[in-house]
Structure 1
Amino acid sequence: MICKVNRLALGVGLVIASLAGSALAQTPSQNATVNLIRLLVQQGVLKQDQAQALIDQAEAEATQARQTAANTAPVPAPGAPGEVRVQYVPAIVREQIRDQVKAEVIAQAKQENWAQPNTFPDWVSRITFEGDVRLRNESRFYSGSNSNEIVDFAELNNSGPYDVNPNSGSQLPPLLNTREDRENMLRLRARMGMRAALSPQWTAAIRLGTGSDSSPVSTTQTLGGGFDKKDLWLDQGYLNYRPTKELSFTGGRMPNPFMSTDLLYSNDLNFDGLAGSFNHPLSRDLAMFGTLGAFPVEYSSDSASSDGFNKEDSENKWLYGAQLGASWAFAPDNNIKGALAYYQFDDIEGRRSNPCAIYDGAPACDSDETRPAFMQKGNTLMELRDLVPDPSAPTTSPQPQFVGLASEFNVLDLNLVWDTLLFDDLKLRSQGNYLVNLGYDEGKMRKRSAGALANNLDENGDIESGDSAWMLQFTLGSALDLKKRGDWNLFAGYKYIEPDALPDGFNDSSFHLGGTNAKGYFLGGNYGIEDNVLATARWLSSEEVYGAPFAIDVLQLELNTRF
């Protein structure tokens, strides 16, 4: 709009000057005026019919002005050879020409709505919108040799407690589907975000997203359901304060502030809490970066148990994270970026309750709130309740149980990425990620996880687990981050995740359909159909590391768009 207004003002000024000059000169330059008006037509300032009318009217008025001046002005004395004399043009004539041209051009500008700088309030220019829509067809294939007795512990906690005493009931616990394939499941992800620049230092952002449930690791909505309306969730909402170019503070529900992979944190995972980050260049080719953060994972209910006189102690679970890294462009078209992080999941593990007499009317046990708010599968689990049997029927009294995490989690995370240009503009990204749970104590965990709901067992009934995970991935193509039409790349990688290397509730929900205790490969490709329109094909094949047989293959075909 500013460009058009400046062009309009320049055009009007030049036309007035040219017409006035034509009227003042003894030999008017008609070609200069006509060429100028034609230039305004080419620039889109004037339409062709308006330009012709302007030329005709200007010529008529200039001719009339010259005739009036010739009849009223004294005859000038002849001048010397080469001398140019300028006749006088009355001021009223010059003003009429100027005002009429200006009025006609500005009227057109207002009609076409490109010369009204005050149409919108100032705050509109400080707000930007962005979003993306992804359509996915997903197929899930299960091995026919999978065990059909794998408990769905997430559902057990949600719908439980579950009675583990076989003498008081015969109902099975919730079980995972492990053998029935699911093909052609159409799924949608749609996200819309708004960012407001409140000042040069302050920014507020909000993003809404789809999702089949409140899962923190996926905003994908499964279509169907009788054409029912789909839910929208608050996916992000945060404030950002940037006092300098190198320093940033964020609070609220924010994007992942750490350099990481989906081995530990799903790409859809957002963090609730506070984070501070810095990025400091040390030289032209070397920069340091880092992040500190504190994130409340879960607050226990203030009124638990809701129907008891004595309330339970507050069980507040936190994630504390610290990361330090560097980026080094050590050669032309070669860059290495690495970071070391430490994540302490405070009080996320389960806790055994004090003796709990459910049979005598106790509404709950004092460790019920230590069960995870969200879990996928894979972690070694423990029974939370220390139930006191009914002395009148000790063998048949119900034993309703919840489960919690048997291990503590203090995760050391190492990430490395190397981007390089090979030949013919072919780019390669090599990426590695290694995790180890420093809070893992095998002896302590084995004692805590004994019970009827023990999982990750070998053929002899002994618990098998581990504290480490790693991933390698390679991406090759014309672009590593696709944006334009014709961009493409291919990727392949391998993951190995032992049961208690990391909490199973926060990592990628596609590989092994989420969680830990999984190993296998993945591969696929991306192609830019148009600018900001991307087609993706992905195959993920995985099986269990320990325990009962459980192999899953997943095929995903996607169309991704962003704006």
Structure 2
Amino acid sequence: MSDGQWKKWQLGLGVLCAAVLLGPALAGAQEDVNQLKAELQAQRHRQADLEDKINQLEARQKLKERAMNEKIEQAAAAKPEEEKKPDVIPDSLKWASKLSWSGDLRYRYEYIDDDGADTDSRSRNRIRARLGLGVKVNDEWDLGFRLATGNGEVSGDPVSTNQTLDEAFSKKPIWLDQAFFGYHPQWFKGAGVTGGKMENPFYKPGKNELIWDSDLTPEGVALTYGTSLTEKTTLNWVAGGFWVNEESSGGDTSLWGIQGYVKHQIDKPTYVLGGASWFDYGNIQGEESLADEWNADDDAFFGNTATAGDLFALDYDLFELFAEFGAEVAKLPVAVFGDYVQNTAADDEDTGWLVGVAINKAKDPGSWQVEWDYRELERDAVVGQFCASDFIGGGAGGKGHRFAFNYMVAKNVAAGVTYYMDEFDRPGRQGEDYDRVQVDLAVKF
């Protein structure tokens, strides 16, 4: 065999050996390629399925959004019509819309140091509870009722709704404190008529108690009228006749009063007010003590002059002048007030006066109010049974200071402290000191 042929055989054998050796490897590589192609094809199918599902979900979401938008548009279009429709109250419940309730509960701790008392000092706990109901009869007529606690042996004390906590957990009485009608004629704007047992209709500057205790609810008929004199000036009139005590024989004891006052608003926070009153008690001279109707007391005339037979020695015809000025000082509302009274039917011990100031108003939670007043009240200047029940223990014939601080703990919840620093000016008690401290917590609705 020649060299050329041998080389051809060697090349052929080499190719044959390479084919034998590389064949399986090339076959495996081809299988891997085919498998990879199959996986890529499967992935494309899955991707296509996912895209179809996403498209379906997006289509559903758009349908839901479209339906929601249609509902919103329908609701928005229907809302004005619904707002025009008034709330429908069943006929059986319409009477309830004419009623308005109010009430309060006050818990008080009280300390009294009276130089003339049998004991050096006295401490007691007291409550006051009141529940009121207002009824709107129609556009011109209304009714009012109020029940209240109060002490009294025969009937409730007219100048106190306090009930002392004592007498071995005994039940406490509830009295009729107010029961009245109100008439406000539409044909006579600004006028009003009130009849029955009512809140005191007469104005008291700074709510002072020189002549009238704040708990007094007189019984009779009162006429009121208010009108504007100018854009900033108003005029108010009050007149009334009240039945103090009815006698089966003889003349009844009565009270007749008239009051007029003018208020001028200088600007929004600043005002000035002034007025005068006349109060005439009928058939009181020569009558027994009014306190006999509710209280047996060692001084049943509460400082007023009495005869040897325990009858009123004098008549009581009272002339009153009062004024009030309000302004804003250091961004706080401040009111300064004064009151003067004289019994024109008496020749001596016939005058009383009071001055005071109130700073800020305890109205909203966290707000506070400070008050101070000083008074001198001679023994026959007013009827002692009806003036302040806390000043010198009640009645006329004394002088002294009153300090008060009130703080709004929460909405409709107030705490307060009041201190009376007084001195008696009565026969047999000249110069005796009288101190009284009251700590209150009041809740109202």
Same fold? TM cut 0.5: yes
CA deviation digits over 1:511-553, x for unaligned, max 9? 1110011101111201111111111101001111243333210
1:282 aligns with 2:229: yes
1:431 aligns with 2:337: yes
CA deviation digits over 1:254-274, x for unaligned, max 9? 100001231111000001000
Q: Which among 115, 140, 149 is matched to residue 201 of structure 1?
A: 140
Partner of 1:134: 106
Q: Does the aligned pair in 2 maintain the 1:475–1:491 contact within 8 Å?
A: yes
1:535 aligns with 2:415: yes
Show the 5 A alignment for 1:39-188.
117-118=89-90, 120-143=92-115, 146=116, 177-183=117-123, 185-188=124-127
Give me the whole-angstrom Cα distance separating, in 2, the residues matched to 1:554 and 1:249.
39
Partner of 2:195: 251
Judged with a 3 Å threshold, the aligned counterparts in structure 2 of structure 1 residues 405 and 371 are, in CA distance, closer, same or farther, namely farther
Q: Does the aligned pair in 2 maintain the 1:135–1:559 contact within 8 Å?
A: yes
Offset of residue 416 of structure 1: 1.3
Q: Which among 368, 379, 382 is matched to residue 304 of structure 2?
A: 379
Offset of residue 329 of structure 1: 0.5
Give me the whole-angstrom Cα distance separating, in 1, the residues matched to 2:143 and 2:128.
23
Give me the whole-angstrom Cα distance separating, in 2, the residues matched to 1:134 and 1:371.
25
Give me the whole-angstrom Cα distance separating, in 2, the residues matched to 1:345 and 1:36.
78
Aligned-residue Cα RMSD (Å) equals 2.5
Partner of 2:329: 422
Partner of 1:31: 65
Show the 5 A alignment for 1:356-375.
373=293, 375=300
3-state SS, counterpart of residue 123 of structure 1: helix
1:330 aligns with 2:266: yes
CA deviation digits over 1:285-326, x for unaligned, max 9? 1000011100010012x3xxxxxxxxxx32300000000111
Partner of 1:557: 439
Judged with a 3 Å threshold, the aligned counterparts in structure 2 of structure 1 residues 320 and 277 are, in CA distance, closer, same or farther, namely same
Q: Does the aligned pair in 2 maintain the 1:348–1:370 contact within 8 Å?
A: no
Q: Which amino acid aligns with 1:211?
A: G
Judged with a 3 Å threshold, the aligned counterparts in structure 2 of structure 1 residues 32 and 435 are, in CA distance, closer, same or farther, namely farther
Partner of 1:219: 161
Q: Does the aligned pair in 1 maintain the 2:101–2:132 contact within 8 Å?
A: yes
Judged with a 3 Å threshold, the aligned counterparts in structure 2 of structure 1 residues 417 and 35 are, in CA distance, closer, same or farther, namely farther
Judged with a 3 Å threshold, the aligned counterparts in structure 2 of structure 1 residues 377 and 39 are, in CA distance, closer, same or farther, namely farther
Q: Does the aligned pair in 1 maintain the 2:219–2:244 contact within 8 Å?
A: yes
Q: Does the aligned pair in 2 maintain the 1:259–1:339 contact within 8 Å?
A: no
TM-score by structure 1 length?
0.61
Give me the whole-angstrom Cα distance separating, in 1, the residues matched to 2:412 and 2:146.
19
Unaligned runs of 5+ in 1: 1-26, 46-114, 147-176, 303-312, 352-367, 385-402, 443-465
Give me the whole-angstrom Cα distance separating, in 1, the residues matched to 2:441 and 2:190.
36
Q: Does the aligned pair in 1 maintain the 2:269–2:333 contact within 8 Å?
A: no
Q: Which among 352, 368, 392 is matched to residue 469 of structure 1?
A: 352
Offset of residue 121 of structure 1: 2.1
Q: Which amino acid aligns with 1:194?
A: L
Q: Does the aligned pair in 1 maintain the 2:239–2:259 contact within 8 Å?
A: yes
Q: Which amino acid aligns with 2:440?
A: E
Give me the whole-angstrom Cα distance separating, in 1, the residues matched to 2:197 and 2:70.
57
Show the 5 A alignment for 1:253-268.
253-260=197-204, 261-268=208-215
Q: Does the aligned pair in 2 maintain the 1:370–1:404 contact within 8 Å?
A: no
Give me the whole-angstrom Cα distance separating, in 1, the residues matched to 2:353 and 2:359.
21
Q: Does the aligned pair in 2 maintain the 1:371–1:404 contact within 8 Å?
A: no
Which structure features the higher share of strand residues?
2
Structure possessing the higher radius of gyration over alpha carbons: 2
1:519 aligns with 2:399: yes
Give me the whole-angstrom Cα distance separating, in 1, the residues matched to 2:290 and 2:375.
30
1:190 aligns with 2:129: yes
Q: Which amino acid aligns with 2:365?
A: R
Offset of residue 284 of structure 1: 1.7
3-state SS, counterpart of residue 68 of structure 2: helix
Unaligned runs of 5+ in 2: 1-60, 80-86, 295-299
Offset of residue 39 of structure 1: 10
Q: Does the aligned pair in 2 maintain the 1:496–1:518 contact within 8 Å?
A: yes
Partner of 1:405: 312
TM-score by structure 2 length?
0.76
Give me the whole-angstrom Cα distance separating, in 2, the residues matched to 1:36 and 1:535.
56
Give me the whole-angstrom Cα distance separating, in 2, the residues matched to 1:369 and 1:515.
13
Give me the whole-angstrom Cα distance separating, in 1, the residues matched to 2:413 and 2:182.
30
Show the 5 A alignment for 1:344-359.
344-350=280-286
The count of corresponding residues between Structure 1 and Structure 2 is 360
Judged with a 3 Å threshold, the aligned counterparts in structure 2 of structure 1 residues 123 and 370 are, in CA distance, closer, same or farther, namely closer
Give me the whole-angstrom Cα distance separating, in 2, the residues matched to 1:190 and 1:371.
23
Q: Does the aligned pair in 2 maintain the 1:259–1:415 contact within 8 Å?
A: no
Q: Does the aligned pair in 1 maintain the 2:291–2:385 contact within 8 Å?
A: no
Offset of residue 38 of structure 1: 8.0
Q: Which amino acid aligns with 1:230?
A: K
CA deviation digits over 1:231-267, x for unaligned, max 9? 1100000000000340000000010000123111100
Identity %, equivalent residues: 26
1:320 aligns with 2:320: no
Judged with a 3 Å threshold, the aligned counterparts in structure 2 of structure 1 residues 39 and 552 are, in CA distance, closer, same or farther, namely farther
Partner of 1:504: 384
Q: Does the aligned pair in 2 maintain the 1:240–1:250 contact within 8 Å?
A: yes
Q: Which amino acid aligns with 1:468?
A: T
Give me the whole-angstrom Cα distance separating, in 1, the residues matched to 2:245 and 2:232.
41
